[in-house]
Amino acid sequence: MIKINLKSIALKLIVILTVVASAAVFAGDRAEPTDFLSGAKRHVSRVENETVSAWQKAFVLKEAGKHTVAFRAKFQVEDPIPFTWLVLEKPLYLEGLTLNGEAISQPIEGMSYKTIPGIPASLLKKGSNELRGVWTQGIKTQKDEKTSKVSIISKKIRSANVDVRLYGVKLSALDFQTGPILGYAGENMFTVTCRVNMPAEVVLEVNDRQYVSKPALLHSFKVEGLTSDTQYEYSLKTRFSSKDDFIASVGPYPVRTLAGGKQFVFTILGDSRSYPKDWARVAAAATTKKPAFSVFVGDMVSRGRRDHEWDEQYFGPAKDFFATIPYYAVIGNHEQDCPLFTQIFPTPGGKNWSQKIGSVLIIGIDGAMDWADGSDLNKWLENILANSKAKFIFLANHYPAWTSGGHGKLKDGHPRERGVRFSQEVIMPLLEKYNATAMFAGHDHFYERSEPGKGVSMIITGGAGAPLYSKSTNAKKQNPYSKVFAKKHHYCILTVDGDICTMEVFTPDNEVIDTRTWTARKGQ
């Protein structure tokens, strides 16, 4: 049974407005979009041994286990010619979609979509059309505690409850869906990504320069040959080809190349998932500090493989943050290792990267990977640390080495979570061996600074908007090194000035909840 409430209706409206711009024209030039399926004949059916049984309006599943259910919608199209692209809205669970026997491709394999843009309208036919899809329906059992009798929780499958809509889209509906998002930058370059709602060409204009990408849904640019510590303006425009006029644009936005000198400011923060209003407040406050760049330590959305969450929970609420501050991404567990991550977030090296910025070496890692002694990743990290001459070394990882929160719970005296265990027993010792400055992580939703006593601070900055956590009941045993703990939303601002790096931790209301000063590494 699909539940409909005001919140879901509001989110659906946001998706429609994202996919179709306010000036978009669907059918005819009318304000209301045309849903081809509004009068469709809908049916559902069991699928047994890959064979579809009789189509019905509804049927009941009474057998425990997993069942494949097929759905079809038959509809008429008077004239498909006015439409260039189609947009399909569907429940997340409906997959394997075909239109008139042709597969409907998803923009990125491995992602799950409520809205599929950029479907060629050429799949439509004049006259009768058919849309099909399938899903897996689980039927559970329940046990009566008094009689121990096991019964099956049957479920009625109704075709009318499969909420699928298919819109015809004209060229004038072309618009930006996501971004712009600044990625990693340097003294003479910066990167930027964006998404549009149908396959089209995007043009990036930077002062008097112009860069053109091929027609696609997701676009990524790298602008080089710039001047250090210099502000530029950039805009993005979209059209279908060089012969066409631009249909939509965003910008201009300011972007400053990184400084090669000894003084600059940057921000580190993490864990914004699930609560976009709180994330919007943190992002807006961090943006006012005008950092040279930002590092985010993971858990940006609730479920990373659900494509719609990225716009609704992360990019949409913090547009100025992403458009004006070069961004360095570190993946968290809630990103679910989604394929969108590496496509939309350019970094200096995929999910494990490093970059020296002025007198600071920043390292970002995927802490869920294999960091065991002797592993390739372990050797990669040790080589970077051993050869660094930076005054300060900061490592960003989603999983903390020491935490007073629930993710630091112990089993046989060791952190029971694999990522936390690697951080504590492998990564932190490497940082200590090479006299690094600090590790920054998230995962637990609070601020905590720990000082293990071997010169490397452990900072948990998990307060960028996610629901806040309290200390574990066994906090002191888990983390005997805790110095400062605050159950508050926050972000960290680091100011580098010669041989001194000072961190201030702010709430969105500009309250300072901690400060820490580090001096340059010995011999550097």
Task: List, edge to edge, every strand of the sheet that includes 512-519.
Answer: 327-329, 294-296, 263-269, 491-497, 500-506, 512-519
Say which residue the tokens 């920054």 belong to: 440
pLDDT at 118 over 60: yes
pLDDT at 332 over 90: yes
Among residues 82, 88, 84, which one has the least CA distance to residue 36? 88
Q: Which amino acid is at 137?
A: Q
Contacts for 22 with CB less than 8 Å, ≥ 6 apart: none
What is the per-residue pLDDT for 16?
38
Residue 470 DSSP code: P
Average pLDDT over residues 480-487: 97
For the chain, the first-to-last Cα distance in angstroms comes to 64
Report DSSP letters for 381-413, one per residue.
HHHHHHT---SEEEEE-SS-SS-SSGGG-EETT
- Look over the chain and give the mean of its residue pLDDT values, rounded to a whole number: 91
Show the 3-state SS of 17-37: HHHCCCCCCCCCCCCCCCECC
Give the C-alpha separation, 473 to 203, whole Å.
54
pLDDT by residue (tens digit) across 13-47? 333 333 333 333 333 333 456 799 999 999 999 99
Q: What are the CA-CA distances from residue 244 to residues 180, 202, 235, 420 (Å)? A: 22, 12, 18, 53
What is the per-residue pLDDT for 32?
58
Say which residue the tokens 């919140």 belong to: 7
pLDDT at 9 over 60: no
The number of C-alpha atoms within 13 Å of 8 and in the hemisphere containing its C-beta is 8
What is the per-residue pLDDT for 11?
37
Contacts for 24 with CB less than 8 Å, ≥ 6 apart: 33, 169, 170, 172, 173, 175
∠ at Cα 437 (231, 392), nearest 5°?
A: 40
pLDDT at 453 over 90: no
Considering only the C-alpha atoms of the chain, give the largest distance between any 2 of them, rounded to a whole number of Å: 79
% of the chain with per-residue pLDDT over 90:
81
Average pLDDT over residues 442-461: 96
pLDDT by residue (tens digit) across 39-84? 999 999 999 888 888 999 999 999 899 999 999 999 999 988 888 8
Phi/psi for 425 (5° steps) reads -100, -15
Lowest mean pLDDT among 139-143, 300-304, 405-409: 139-143
pLDDT at 421 over 90: yes
How many residues does this entry show for the chain? 524
pLDDT by residue (tens digit) across 177-208? 999 999 999 999 999 999 999 999 999 999 98
What is the per-residue pLDDT for 82?
82
Do residues 310 and 340 touch, judged by C-beta distance below 8 A? Answer: yes
What is the per-residue pLDDT for 26?
35
> What domains are there in the chain, each with its CATH number?
6-172 (2.60.120), 175-256 (2.60.40.10), 263-519 (3.60.21.10)
Q: Which amino acid is at 457?
A: S
What is the per-residue pLDDT for 154?
86
- Binned at pLDDT 50, 70 and 90, residue 260 comes out as confident
Show the 3-state SS of 97-131: EEECCEECCCCCCCCECCEEEEEEHHHCCCEEEEE
Task: List, edge to edge, every strand of the sheet that includes 41-48.
Answer: 51-52, 41-48, 65-77, 127-139, 95-99, 102-103
Lowest mean pLDDT among 150-154, 362-366, 509-513: 150-154
Show the 3-state SS of 75-90: EEECCCCCCCEEEEEC
Q: What's the predicted TM-score (pTM) here? A: 0.88
